[in-house]
Amino acid sequence: MNILNYSALDLGNALKKGLCSVLEVTDALHQRLEATSFLNTVITIDWDQVQKDAALLQEKIEKGMLSSPLAGVPVLIKDNICTRFIPATCASKALLNFIPPYDAYVIEKMKTAGMLILGKSNMDEFAMGSTGETSFFGPVKNPWNPLYVPGGSSSGSAAAVAARSVFCALGTDTGGSIRQPASHCGITGIKPSYGRVSRRGLIAYASSMDQIGTMARSALDCQAILSIICGQDKLDFTSRNGKSIFSKAKGVRDLVIGIPENLLQAAQPEIQQCILNSAQIFTSMGAVVKWTKLSYTREAVAAYYILACAEASSNLGRYDGWKYGERTPAVTLNKQLCRTRSEKLGAEVKQRILLGSFVLSSGHFDDYYRKAEKARNLIRKAFQEAFEDCNLILTPTAPTTAPKIGEMLQEPVKMYQSDLHTVGVNLAGLPAICFPGGLTHSYMPVGIQLIAPDMEEALLFQAVEAFQNVSDFHLQSPEVNQSCSYNVSSD
Amino acid sequence: MQLQCVIGLEIHAELKTKSKLFCGCSTAFGAPPNTQCCPVCTGMPGALPALNQTALIYAIMAGLSLHCEISRYTRFDRKNYFYPDLPKAYQISQLYAPLCRNGFLISPLFPKKKIRIREIHLEEDAGKLIHDRSSTESYCDYNRSGVPLIEIVTEPDFVSGLEASEFIKALREIFLCLDICDCKMQEGSLRADINISCRQTGSSQLGTRTEIKNLNSLRSVIQAADAEFHRQTALIKKGKSILQETRRWNENTGKTESLRVKENTAEYRYFPEPDLPPLCLNENWVTAIKERLPELPDARKEHCLSLGLSEENAASLSAAPDLYSFFLSVVDHNVSARKAAGWILTDVLHFLRSSKKELLQTCLTPKIAAELLILMEKGKINREGVRQLTQVLLDKNIDLQNFIQSHGLALNNNTVQINDAIETVIAENPKAATDFYNGNSKTIGFFIGQTMKLLNGSGDPKLIRRILLQKLDENLS
């Protein structure tokens, strides 16, 4: 079997047994990434450094110094997570020359476990976007069809995993930024409970919702990586310890899975069909699937964009050109600030900063921010109520499959509304996983979302692992091809 | 039209914690620029704040000492604005749920005036800009960025700059006593902003207020308040209106000058800090802090008075925490409180001032001080000996008894020597003796002095007096 088709856990196993070496693996990835470079999934990889790291890790593995099942496994990191001495640009012109002098908490943990930090993946600028098109480095392309977007904002991570260019990656999810690209690219991705993973070293977009999560080709892999990076960090006061992410039980027998009808109906018919098919599979394994109510939809998107933009307007204030990045010269301090920010930040980012500044300004604070906070509480309550009579909630991840490149940029409101299925989870701080549920007639992947109560990641993994044991949607892979004639024709 | 001055204070006090409010960097004053900063206090992307619990405790101590309610639920908010000394472009402060509310303080000079404290909140300091005079460049120093501050906001309860400055003085004594702030206005560890407006006597309607920022001495608080009040009354009497603005005090001209006119409302886009969860303070935890509070200046003074000290000495000792605690330790060794206080406030204070040292920097211990005072009480050494010994004891550790012997500081109790000396003095001063017999009792002092001189200052004055009177009596009969 081609090394590139290994799961992360299989690869870790093979490395331990000496069936292949870390250097062979990185060489294979290097070739594959070159071959798929038109997908534009990567911002920074220093191959010389990677080779050095690989050699060092190989030595440690041979000496038996690394016990983690993922020792030696290369991982791609979204470019908004700080890695010592590797640029962290957030795909923004404002951070082009920012080289963090420190590792994020998750990177510390991965390095300790002996995982190989490969490099940094492309993304929407500052994680703002649902398509991967707002990057200063140009749009990321969908490996299933490069005329289409991969989703966003963890676009490069998702596309690279789907294209078999890497085995696994870290993404971040503020309003769906792991799950939605996972859905559009046909991979598995988990957004953990808020606080499950430390945000120290994650460049903030909306602090009260940002969460680092894992992306791979199976739930098992996602779980294995998450187990390395999760846990309370005493330097992130919002991080927490919680129940184990490993479940003692196997299978889904007697689990009650609720499907909110309104969320199902807000998706394309073909997607609805995939959801119902997957419900069938769960039922066939002994789960109880039923209709449930999750009585919010419109409020969630509005509340999300008000709160996220408000926090973003504050979090991004520091990109003033006075400390890093270049500043645009001007006569006065204020003009310098305005020109620098106007020039260095992209259109989508500026739009959200303006929105956020507006909703926080006096006279509007009560009408927008306060109301959005109230809505957030109602959404939390709605989930609590829903979880009173079911263990998990099953929904589409997105209302449509991946749109064509350029399509969404013209229609920002439509783009924001496409976050309908994902943002509620972030507002409520819940864990949710997205996994492949089949392809449409035009060969584009459809993702399915399972949502669990706070700190119940174990239940998500238990259910999806059972699902992936009896189905092969997650094994389907695109024939990555720059022209991609075979499925454009069926469009 | 009679106009009255109305003043409210906003006081920023830097807390004396070892590390900053949200990171482990040192807070020491005066280090070379940018040597005490890290990703957190320079606002690097990805950095997160982690609350320093000591700062929280200090702020609660301040609140408790100023009779405030301590909020059981409190949280931080972001105050957003752009300035190069503010690396995150927001300051972590408290707006919606401050830590302490509704306190008061009464300053000793105005015992009938209760100054209400609206709130005390905890926040981080900004960095400093350094302007290079030889070029047009400016530089940022982030050493101060993230140093913990408390802001004490009073109600507009003062009617003069003097009242305001006395309040700051009283506040300073409390903070020094709590040991939570250096209170050095010149170094900026205590800074005062005053809000000032005019009101017609008898009316409750306040005029437009101006704010005078960063007053760095008590004197400037008084002078700036007076100058601003005069400026405002002059304008009002001319029928002109007062602009709501921020002003600064110019010491050279003795006038306040406009810094910036406030726009309609300051736009700080405050919102709850998402990186720090709200704090729910445990009742027992706060009570434990309260129980550990040191004695405050008021209580100290009471204590001093109860030990029999004069009003003046009690006030002086209670205002100086180090002298006060030293005094208590000395008194613990069974020494007269009045004598101990008298000695500390004269000899000890004199030498501390002349050597510009703090008590803790000297070699003086309560035990040896008590030994000295007991020797003095027992008449073993004279006044001058005590003075000399005090100076020596501040500088080195010595064996008191040996030193007294070897330096001839012991009182001369040799009656024969004293007798001889007195006889010589009387014989050499027949006129003074005659004066004495004629009823001029002042001459006795003269005789004692002369005798002392003859004995090189080592005679026991009580003994000399007794023998002298005996001798003069004998001569008369």
Mean of the per-residue pLDDT values of chain B = 89
pLDDT at A310: 98
Provide, as residue numbers in chain B, all residues whose Cβ is less than 8 Å from the Cβ of A203: 45-46
Q: Do B275 and A333 touch (CB under 8 A)?
A: no
Block residue for tokens 């991969």: A150
Beta strands B271-272 and B77-80 are: antiparallel
Mean pLDDT of B123-132: 92
What is A201-234 written as a DSSP string?
Answer: TBPPSSTTT--EEEEESSHHHHHHHHHHHBS--T
For chain B, the structural domain boundaries read 3-283, 295-406, 415-476
Mean pLDDT of B251-273: 83
Instruction: Give yes or no for residue B470 having a pLDDT over 90.
Output: no
Q: Which residues of B60-93 are buried (b: 16+ CB within 10 A; e: fewer)?
A: bbbbbbbebebbeebbbbbbbebbbbbbbbbbbb
pLDDT digits (tens, 9 = 90+) for B360-383: 888 888 988 898 888 888 777 777
- Highest-confidence segment of B49-53, B266-270, B356-360: B49-53
pLDDT at A490: 36
The four Cα atoms A176, A177, A182, A185 give a dihedral, to 10 degrees, of: 120
pLDDT at A486: 44
A3-254+403-488 CATH, one of 3.30.1640.10, 3.30.70.2740, 3.90.1300.10, 1.10.10.10: 3.90.1300.10
Q: Distance between CA A404 and CA A314 in Å, rounded?
A: 32
The tens place of each residue's pLDDT in chain A, 491 residues long, gives 789 999 999 999 999 999 999 999 999 999 999 999 999 999 999 999 999 999 999 999 999 999 999 999 999 999 999 999 999 999 999 999 899 999 999 999 999 999 999 999 999 999 999 999 999 999 999 999 999 999 999 999 999 999 999 999 999 999 999 999 999 999 999 999 999 999 999 999 999 999 999 999 999 999 999 999 999 999 999 999 999 999 999 999 999 999 999 999 999 999 999 999 999 999 999 999 999 988 776 789 999 999 999 999 999 999 998 887 788 888 888 899 999 999 999 999 999 999 999 999 988 999 999 999 999 999 999 999 999 999 999 999 999 999 999 998 888 888 888 999 999 999 999 999 999 999 999 999 999 999 999 999 999 999 999 999 999 999 999 988 776 544 433 33
User: Comparing A20-29, B149-158, B323-332, B415-424, which segment has the lowest mean pLDDT?
Assistant: B415-424
pLDDT at B262: 62
Mean pLDDT of B37-44: 96
Quickly count: other Cβ atoms within 10 Å of residue B238's Cβ.
Answer: 7
Provide, as residue numbers in chain A, all residues whose Cβ is less than 8 Å from the Cβ of B89: 314, 317-318, 320
ipTM, two decimals, is 0.94
Q: Do B50 and A237 touch (CB under 8 A)?
A: yes
Chain A: which residues have CB within 8 Å of chain B? Answer: 81-82, 88, 90, 95, 98, 100-102, 104, 199-204, 206-208, 234-238, 310-311, 313-314, 317-318, 320, 322-323, 333-334, 337, 357, 360-362, 365, 369
pLDDT at B161: 95
Instruction: Give yes or no for residue B269 having a pLDDT over 70.
Output: yes
Q: Distance between CA A421 and CA A393 in Å, rounded?
A: 12
Q: Do B271 and A314 touch (CB under 8 A)?
A: yes
Q: Do A234 and B50 touch (CB under 8 A)?
A: yes
Q: Which band of pLDDT confidence, cut at 50, 70 and 90, is reported for residue B327?
A: very high
Q: What is the DSSP letter of B126?
A: P
Q: What is the DSSP letter of B212?
A: E
Which residues, other chains included, contact B369 with Cβ-Cβ below 8 Å and sequence gap of 6+? B326, B330, B340, B343, B393
Q: Do A101 and B276 touch (CB under 8 A)?
A: no
Share of chain B above pLDDT 70, in %: 97
**Residue A86 to residues A103, A110, A134, A394: CA-CA distances in angstroms?**
9, 15, 22, 39
pLDDT digits (tens, 9 = 90+) for B400-428: 778 877 776 777 667 777 888 888 888 88
pLDDT at B128: 93
Quickly count: other Cβ atoms within 10 Å of residue A363's Cβ.
Answer: 10
Instruction: Give yes or no for residue B11 having a pLDDT over 90.
Output: yes
pLDDT at A458: 98
Q: Which band of pLDDT confidence, cut at 50, 70 and 90, is reported for residue B446?
A: confident
pTM for the model: 0.85
User: Comparing A45-54, B190-199, B301-310, which segment has the lowest mean pLDDT?
Assistant: B301-310
B415-476 CATH, one of 1.20.140.10, 3.40.50.970, 3.30.70.240, 1.10.10.410: 1.10.10.410
- The residue type of A353 is I
From the list B48, B80, B277, which residue is nearest A199 (CB)? B48
CA distance A95 to chain B (A): 9
CA distance A457 to chain B (A): 22
Burial of A201 (0-12, 13-18, 19+ CB in 10 A): buried
Q: Do A323 and B87 touch (CB under 8 A)?
A: yes
Please answer whether residues A66 and A113 qualify as being in contact, where contact means their C-beta atoms are separated by less than 8 angstroms.
yes
Mean pLDDT of B134-146: 89
Provide, as residue numbers in chain A, all residues whose Cβ is less than 8 Å from the Cβ of B275: 204, 207, 237-238
